[in-house]
Amino acid sequence: MATTVALSSSLKHHLALGVRIPQSPALCRRNGGRVSTFRSFPVAMATPLEVCVKASVTTPNKLGDCPFCQRVLLTMEEKHLPYDMKLVDLANKPEWFLQISPEGKVPVAKLDEKWVPDSDVIAQTLEEKYPDPPLATLPEKASVGSKIFSTFIGFLKSKDPSDGTEQALLNELSSFNDYIKENGPFINGEKVSAPDLSLAPKLYHLEIALGHYKKWSLPDTLPHTESYMKVGVPK
């Protein structure tokens, strides 16, 4: 029987549990100072894909607050790819991690025996290598909502209520609200696609960070954006 897991709920599971609730339990272990979480799916692969992601700074052995890492994990989940998630303490980067990521950045995924950085590159490579189910969209849809995150960061960092950063964010959210009203429930219509998996973690961080630091919440005038943040992902 098909079940539905909300994007927002799945991201909360990522933050709280390290992975989304699996069909079969995930396995966690330490290996030479590394903390790994394994997710298995019924996909014919010799070994799980290895992916390095940010570890939580507050809770041991849990996924940290990186929307780019979450995007890669969500992409692997949507494609039902087994993976070995290695949690990296970015405040105390281990030597083994710096050997595969000299710049010390996450996410980094091992694809075709090469460590690939950058969530954009990883997501595109996964789409090319594992095309089923397809997550790509038309170019004009791929950029929908792409300015929300940068305007969110600008507003979050702002100390001047009159500098226009809040309005810039509201403008982007309003444009997205109008788009989803006409084209939703997802960016590509009825099915989840790559832009959703990129934007959803960012909207989750927007909600949490602005609520905590600025006591700000999404206005009632943006009901379609709010619905998008709560809408379910068919599984």
- 127-142 pLDDT, tens digit each: 999 999 999 999 999 9
Tracing tokens 């940290």 back to the chain, one arrives at 64
Q: Average pLDDT, stretch 101-109?
A: 97
Q: Which has more confidence, 72 or 22?
A: 72
Which of 104, 21, 30 is CA-nearest to residue 60? 30
* Distance from C-alpha of 76 to C-alpha of 70, rounded to nearest angstrom: 10
Kind and range of the H or E element at 122?
helix 119-129
Give the per-residue pLDDT at 232. 47
Give the per-residue pLDDT at 234. 40
Give the per-residue pLDDT at 41. 59
Q: Which has more confidence, 15 or 87?
A: 87
* Intervals of CATH 3.40.30.10 along the chain: 4-129
Give the per-residue pLDDT at 67. 96
| N-to-C CA span, the chain | 9
* Intervals of CATH 1.20.1050.10 along the chain: 139-234
Could you confirm whether 66 is annotated as catalytic?
Answer: yes
Q: Average pLDDT, stretch 215-233?
A: 89
Give the per-residue pLDDT at 29. 43
Tell whether the model's pLDDT for residue 109 goes beyond 50: yes
* Distance from C-alpha of 181 to C-alpha of 123, rounded to nearest angstrom: 27
Tell whether the model's pLDDT for residue 31 goes beyond 90: no
Q: Average pLDDT, stretch 55-69?
A: 94
Catalytic residue among 28, 52, 66, 69: 66
Can you name the residues that pair with 53 across neighbouring β-strands? Answer: 87
Q: Which residues, in sequence order, are CB contacts of 108 under 8 Å at separation 6+?
A: 51, 52, 100, 101, 115, 116, 117
Tell whether the model's pLDDT for residue 192 goes beyond 90: yes
Tell whether the model's pLDDT for residue 28 goes beyond 90: no
Tell whether the model's pLDDT for residue 18 goes beyond 50: no
pTM exceeds 0.95 for this model: no
pLDDT band with cut points at 50, 70 and 90 for residue 230: confident
Give the per-residue pLDDT at 47. 87
pLDDT band with cut points at 50, 70 and 90 for residue 11: very low
Q: Which fold has domain 139-234?
A: Glutathione S-transferase Yfyf (Class Pi); Chain A, domain 2 (1.20.1050)
Q: Which fold has domain 4-129?
A: Glutaredoxin (3.40.30)
> What is the overall mean pLDDT for the chain?
85
